[in-house]
Amino acid sequence: MKKLQPIQTLSLVLIFIFSITGILSLNSCAPTSAISAKSGVQLWGENCQRCHNTPSPMTFSPQQWETIGMHMQTRALLTQDEKDKIVGFLKSSR
Ligand code: HEC
pLDDT band at 32 (very low <50, low <70, confident <90, very high): low
CA pair distance 68, 93, nearest whole angstrom: 16
Site to probe by mutation for ligand 1, drawn from 44, 50, 51, 73 as the one with most ligand atoms within 8 Å of Cβ, is 51
CA pair distance 17, 56, nearest whole angstrom: 52
For the residues 23-52, what does the mean pLDDT come to? 82
Task: Please list, in sequence order, all residues whose beta carbon lies within 8 angstroms of the beta carbon of residue 78, skipping any fewer than 6 positions away.
Answer: 43, 47, 72, 86
List pocket residues of ligand 1, CB cut-off 6 Å.
47-48, 50-52, 54-55, 68, 71-72, 75-76, 86
Residue 52 has pLDDT above 80, yes or no: yes
For the residues 7-29, what does the mean pLDDT come to? 80
For the residues 37-41, what does the mean pLDDT come to? 93
Contacts 24+ apart (CB under 8 A), 64-69: 65/90, 65/91, 66/91
Contact 89, 41 (CB under 8 A): yes
Residue 19 has pLDDT above 90, yes or no: no
Predicted pLDDT at 31: 64
The chain-wide mean pLDDT, for the chain, equals 88
